[in-house]
Chains A and B, each alone.
Chain A
Amino acid sequence: MPNDVIIETRNLTKVYRDFWGRQKVRALKALDLEVRRGEIFGLLGPNGSGKTTTIKLILGLLFPTSGQVLCFGRDATDVTKNERIGYLPEESYLYKFLSAEETLDFYGRLFKMSRRLRRQRTSELINLVGLQGAKKRQLREYSKGMTRRIGLAQALINDPELILLDEPTTGLDPLGIRDMKQMILDLREQGKTVVMCSHRLDDVEDVCDRIAILYDGELKELGRVDSLLKVRDVTEIHARGLSEKTQQEIRQLIQREGGELVAMGNPTMTLEQLFLDIIAESEAHPGRRVVRKEGAA
């Protein structure tokens, strides 16, 4: 595996079974993915599409039915890989009877940090997520937004190289969402790799470098966000100073008349449009990777 591939899934399949071993649901079907160092990778999909299952498989919280997940080149069940990982679960599953300081101190101890380092990291992270005023309060008294913040702080306690964020903006107010997105972008600036899953399309669109769209446990689309959203068969021209007459035949006249060509390129649709298109296509042709129109992507 090349050095810059942080996560690799090979033919990853997960089937949930009941107590008697009967198949209940096939949550993930032969997923092949690679996440590279330093990128923000988004897993996108409707509810039940297998996003969280993928993250849990990467973390070793679930075992694959078949296939393999490698994280930093090690098997996902190898706990030593967690030294370099930070994880923010879907809801911040933290011990409500601890205060913010105690929480961070506890998770710091799980990384065998010295007392001095724990104190330092705790204070840095509490400042980073803006909980200075509430650091002594028990988490049970926290609002949902505050819980997300302390959740993020615990995910960063070990200064991880890879951060997995499960629905990071859920429960945050617009201001909180903006801060969270900025923090994610800052993490990339620091050279960290981020994998996030979300069904909030605007979040993914704003911060992700690459995305994978899952539907019903299958990978439907994978690529760079800017490239995926580009509509290649349409050209957009922004022009100024053209006469009424020449506007009738813009394309020929701009050059001939010497008008100023301000911008020329491909328009983009929104991620929301792309997402809905893929879902519609998947429902029309179940079990098939989305085939985009010639030149569409």
Chain B
Amino acid sequence: MVHTFVYRHKGNPLYFVWDIESGSLYNVDDVAFLCAKKRYGLLSAEEEKAFSDSDKKDVSEINASFDELEGEGALNAPPLIKEFKKRTGAVKAMCLHICHDCNLRCEYCFASGGTYNTPRDYMSAEVGKKAIDFLISNSGDIKNLEVDFFGGEPLMNFDVVKQITAYAKEEAAKKGKRFSFTMTTNCLLLNEEAGNWLNEEMDNVVLSIDGRESVHNEVRHTVSGKNAYPAIVRNSLEFRKIRGDKKYYVRGTFTAKNLDFTEDVIALNDLGFDQISMEPVVLPEEDPMAITRLHIDRIKAEYDRLAEVYLERRKGGKWFNFFHFMLDLDHGPCIHKRLTGCGAGTEYLAVSPTGEIYPCHQFVGRSEYLIGNVGEGILNPEVRERFSGYTVLKKAHCADCPAKYYCGGGCAANALNFSGRPDGQYEVGCELQKKRMEVSLAIQFIERNGL
């Protein structure tokens, strides 16, 4: 299957032909663009007229080139793999819910004030260590294991985080494993001591800030309703200094209230951050902050705007990386990864503060998806077996999608929330993912050619 798209750089159109199955990308001129659309049945009525006016010699030459590419398996290539099932044996990553409590109240929080609609529990060191034991003993031959300290706000239970980290490192050394640790924090308790420890021990630190102060304060505030922005920015910038070149992200969320989220990315970059993620909020359609179908065209235009800002800043002193524009076009993950996505329920699991195991952090508290617990292990293998079937190849809505090997089939929790099935479709998410992929591909071309 072939996908065609246009990206406007500095006001000028760039035409692309994308071969979905082989991962081949071509920058073409306007005539070749129309030829590709004609060849693969994608022409609109207006384009049909333009195509019929094209120079016949050019059309013939272009089609000969397309014939050649098809012959090489680099255009309109057939699917490479038709049957595939995720392994359910090995677990490689766990999200530990260090506490179901938070010192911020974010109006869009999928965890309901950090509680996930459960009591405000704190994970004990004992439960955390059992989670580490579970992960190591279920990791099979996989050497590189991952633990993400998540909440709620994990720094509210910092001492336990430290104990779990030390224990994991000890056990890894004995068992020939290696842990990568990540913490996601709202930065409110990120003082110098915590910052130094995180810098030393965490492979990745995700700092939650929504961008402009006005945007942040409209949706995020302390438990008592106070302005938390100055403290969050001060602490996160101090940590940024400590962090140097080691891995971190500032991660914001945009809602229907700030569809001009490019301004928030700029605000974060201007503060001094150079690794930035800005995620669309996921909320039920009736919520006034929800991103709905009505917002899709507006957000697509904003991604175009953000891309132009991104390209310009990367040439100068404000170089930054945007998580959703990162694309490893020539290498990237293997086909297995592209077909299985995040691995929720199989290689990736989440653990509640009291030790229950769920397919991922967004499933915690949903009893019908309980897999087991860290003390007794896997009690409901059928949940994992079900998740093992959720691959790109099994989802009907992925079949013709140009982004299917770049999103891995989408988020199971979002799919459940919007379609009633973990293997269903979250249509808004799919539309935005497709747009981000097109923009990312165009960025690759533009930067490679110094345009």
**A-B interaction:** no
